[in-house]
Each structure stands twice: as structure tokens, then as C-alpha cells.
Structure 1
């Protein structure tokens, strides 16, 4: 299941994050950039305070892509269970040189590379990380201006990063000014962890970690990605319906020869039955977002040619039902250019408990 990574400044915030349910403790100085490192003394104090209750990661720092400099910074953080290395903007050969220069340390330490979604990330480097012995990769944002990960990379590209990392056997994480409404949209992609800082604090990103905020995000992750479902019959009896109707897209579809190498209009209508809440929701993270449905459609479109509308319907239903807050989905897929009106299929699929 997707874990929650909390970025903290030292042992005091680490205790608060653990109390709120964080699964990973990540050390950095959030007031000084994307990956500004804390001192070795603070790192050791935090590792001592956590005492093995959670894995501790530490960032190597905001460093130029110079292999020797990066290797020295990584080596100085041996106290952490994981060390994160930012692949900062530079020529691809310089980034590759940094990765290759860490191969020796990767045999002794668990290293995670960080790509920056707002700085033209070179995701073709993922196989090089595996070859060099890195254990993981992460998507984050370089500039903490409030723009979220999703505003810099489309969901299909983020999904591709997660899928490629999984295929290579790399642990993968997603972060970047994430907020509560982003959790269900990203958790359905099944990354190993989602990373947070600003969403865990009181006020600005540099404020103190709040245990209640950590707990709310933890509960949202559990509910969105594989949490234990309530009795299925009860869900069917007491549900509300979220819908996206008449979403038209241009995509490559069709089993006939004349349908290949061209796009045509396809219309999606989706109705999602979601368990009714005991009380009226007061915040956006308490509701199921129709953005998740539209994300699913766009992901299918981005994939390329599909022969059958039946395939689209089944795969979209399966994608949405990964979120166990749903009791059932109804999916209609219509091709709009093969007749006087529309032709297609409608399916209804329940959550399998």
C-alpha cells in the first residue's frame, strides 16, 4: 500500500510526524530550497530519536552536478537509511556522470534519485539508476512556488514514471507541493509513497508539522488506495453518485484497417457509486473527486491505439475501482463517427471485496 513520507526539520518534528502516522521520516531544510540538507548533527540526533521506529531518509543537498562533490555529500549522510540525490538541471551527460559516480556508494548505501517535474526531468535515466545500484526514484518539484506536481506533468506521464520504476524494481515516490485533493488522484497509480511538507504544517511551508494534518492525510491515503472496504451490500444500499457525462475526446480506436493511423471522436460517460457519508462533507479531501474519472479517461487516450470500446470500458472501470471508496461504476463508451448517432457499450462493475 502507498506510504506517507513526511519531510521534517529535526527530531522534534519527527516525533510529531510519527504520532500522526507517517511511514517515512525525511530530513531536509524546507526553508532553503527543494533539497537543502540539514547538518550531520541534526541527522544523527533524528536517527537516534526515531530509534528504528520508521525509516529515515536524508537529502544530500542542493548541489551542482559534479560527481565528486555529490559523492562526498552522500557519504556524509551514512546515518540515514536512505539518501536522496537531486538530479538538478544540467546536461544529460553530467547527470549520467553523477549517477555513475555513485555506483560504489550504492553498494553500501540505499540511494534514491530525485527528478524535478518543473525542470524538464530526463526520465530516460531510470534504467541507468538501476544499473548503478540505486534502490529508488522520486518525482518532486524544484521550485516551491505553490504549483503542484500535477500542474507540471500530466497524469499519464506520472503513471509512466511509476510503471517504469516498478518494472525496473525501483522504489518510487511522488511529491511536489501535494495537497489533500491530489492524494486520491495519485494513490490510484500505486506509488510506494507520497511525500508531503506544506500540507502537514500550520500555515506556510516553513511552519511547524501538525500531527492532526499528518493523520488526515494518512487516513486519506489508506481510504484511497486499498483500505479495508465496508460490507459491500451495505455500500450498495447507501450510496451517492459521482458522474462525468459526455466527455468527448479525440483518440485512436477501431479494429478495422481504415480506423488505424487516424483519430476519431469518442464519448465517455461514467457514474461512480460511492458510500454515503454519515455527515455532510466540509472539505474537498472528504469527497470523491470527478477529476479521478477524467484522469482515467485521459490515461487511456494517452496510451495510444485501442481496438475495442469494450476494452476501454473494462480498463477504465478497473482503474477506478482501485479506489475502494467506490461501491460500483457504470461506464459508457461511444464512438461518434460510425453511424447516424453513436455506437458503443455500457457496463456496470461492482467493487470485488
Structure 2
């Protein structure tokens, strides 16, 4: 499955209701609720996530992370179920390559999530297991993102080579998943990453003051990222009510029903 030319969603990770309002008002396509002080995929309190979902316009999808990768399947299932109950559109779960991740995927496949969709976030430092991408698809996930866990090591493109990035995006599309790229990204990384035909580009540090992911959102940084990513025609859900060959559009079409 190929992404439509220029159809890339801008995901903005936020830590509060006020940050969500800023990013949604400046054109972020997806608002991602995350606690950057608690790790690469730190989870916010459920009450905060509910506030973020309530304040963001209904046409803007909201995602939320449930914490860094965890091998305890029972713990992951509880965290995902609780987060889905906040009525977010997407629940993001961290994964590392390995057998434990496969067991977690199998448990998640059977969950009833109040309409929320699952998105896997693979941390690149632990290897990129393309067979795991296929398992996400079988389990009913909507998409898969490649991110970094150790933000001190640099951006995703510093850690993962061009061949691996291309193979990751291709594997996601072949399995009818949307493909996302994230990991200490800045506006300057966008032209290079667009060449791999992703469906989503995710940002946190690149939207913050002084590029520090635990700092507050910087409106000018958000504008710079928004201006560098080709915008969809219309909003992120309305633009895809007529299905076309792109996996993020397929998710948005289904979630809008």
C-alpha cells in the first residue's frame, strides 16, 4: 500500500490541555498525549488525557501513550484498556524486538477498546523486526511507528539508516498499516524523511523551547514544522472520508464512522 503524494500527517506530542490547544490551533493533524518527563513514551494521568480529548476539536484525532515498552502482558493490557476508556482515538504501545513483544501483541488482539485503535511504537535502538510489523497487522493494529528511546543519541535518522527506514515504511504499507516516523525530529529533518513516504511524522522536542522535550511548547517551532509538512486538503478526518490508497486515511475513515 502506498501513501498518496503529499498526504502526511503532523503528529504533535503534548503534555497538557494548554499545549494541546496551541498545537491544534496551529494545524497539527494528530494530538498525542504524552508525558515526556516519564520516558520516551511516558503516560500522562488518565484525567489529563480526558481533558486533552475534551478540549481538542472533535475532527482532530487524539492519541495517547501508555508508557515505555513493558514485557508484562497483563500490565500492558490493563494500561491499554484504561487509556482506551478515556475515549482517545488511538492508543500507542511501545515495543522492542523479541519474543516478549510477540506475546503482548497476541494479548492485545482480543481486547475491546471502545472504538480506540492500537498503534505500535517500535524503539529503533533495539532493532527493527519487520516480522513483528506483520504481527501488528494480524492483531488488528491501525499503524506502526518507528521512534527512539534514548533521546540523547540524536534523531531517528542518526540511529537508523536509509535502507532500514525504507524497508520499515514498505513493510507497514504492505501490511495495510500506516507508517509513522518519530524520534527527536526537527523541521530540518522533514525533507529527508518525506522521501521515505511515511504517513505520519511525530514531534515533541522539535516543538519545544530550545529543542528540549520537557520544556513548554514553542509556537514558532510548531509553525515551522507545520509549514514544512505538506498539508492535507481539509482536516485530517474529513479529507479521507472517501477512501484512497493510504493507510492513515483508512484509519481515519474507520474512526470517523
Distance in 2 (alpha carbons) for counterparts of 1:41 and 1:170? 29
1:23 aligns with one of 14, 22, 29: 29
Aligned residue runs from structure 1 range 169-318, under 5 A: 169-203=176-210, 204-222=212-230
1:101 aligns with one of 77, 101, 107: 107
Q: 1:288: which partner in 2? A: none
Distance in 2 (alpha carbons) for counterparts of 1:136 and 1:183? 20
Q: Name whichever structure is richer in strand by fraction.
A: 1
Q: How many residues align?
A: 223
Q: 1:113: which partner in 2? A: 120
Q: 1:3: which partner in 2? A: 9
Aligned residue runs from structure 1 range 46-195, under 5 A: 46-78=52-84, 79-88=87-96, 92-105=98-111, 108-195=115-202
Q: 2:250: which partner in 1? A: none
Structure number with greater CO (CA < 8 Å, separation at least 6) is 2
* Offset from partner CA, 1:16-51 (integer Å, 9 cap, x none): 111221111001111221011000000101111114
* Offset from partner CA, 1:243-299 (integer Å, 9 cap, x none): xxxxxxxxxxxxxxxxxxxxxxxxxxxxxxxxxxxxxxxxxxxxxxxxxxxxxxxxx
Distance in 2 (alpha carbons) for counterparts of 1:195 and 1:214? 12
Distance in 2 (alpha carbons) for counterparts of 1:133 and 1:94? 18
Distance in 2 (alpha carbons) for counterparts of 1:105 and 1:10? 28
Deviation at 1:172, TM superposition (A): 1.2
Distance in 2 (alpha carbons) for counterparts of 1:68 and 1:88? 17
Distance in 2 (alpha carbons) for counterparts of 1:81 and 1:109? 5
Distance in 2 (alpha carbons) for counterparts of 1:66 and 1:59? 16
Residue segments in structure 2 that go unaligned for 5+ positions in a row:
1-6, 234-257
2:39 aligns with one of 30, 33, 39: 33
Matched, 1:14 2:20: yes
Deviation at 1:109, TM superposition (A): 3.0
Distance in 2 (alpha carbons) for counterparts of 1:34 and 1:12? 21
- SS at the partner of 1:17? helix
Distance in 2 (alpha carbons) for counterparts of 1:217 and 1:2? 12
Deviation at 1:191, TM superposition (A): 0.8
Q: 1:149 and 1:69, CA in 2 relative to 1: closer, same or farther beyond 3 A?
A: same
Q: Please say if residues 17 and 210 of structure 1, whose CA atoms lie closer than 8 Å, have aligned partners that are also in contact.
A: no
- SS at the partner of 1:181? helix
Give the aligned CA root-mean-square deviation in angstroms: 1.8
Q: 1:127 and 1:214, CA in 2 relative to 1: closer, same or farther beyond 3 A?
A: same
Distance in 1 (alpha carbons) for counterparts of 2:137 and 2:66? 19
Deviation at 1:63, TM superposition (A): 4.6
Residue segments in structure 1 that go unaligned for 5+ positions in a row:
227-353
Distance in 1 (alpha carbons) for counterparts of 2:38 and 2:222? 22
- SS at the partner of 1:190? coil
Of the two, which has the highest radius of gyration? 1
Q: 1:318: which partner in 2? A: none
Deviation at 1:146, TM superposition (A): 4.9
Q: Please say if residues 201 and 209 of structure 1, whose CA atoms lie closer than 8 Å, have aligned partners that are also in contact.
A: yes
Distance in 2 (alpha carbons) for counterparts of 1:106 and 1:211? 37
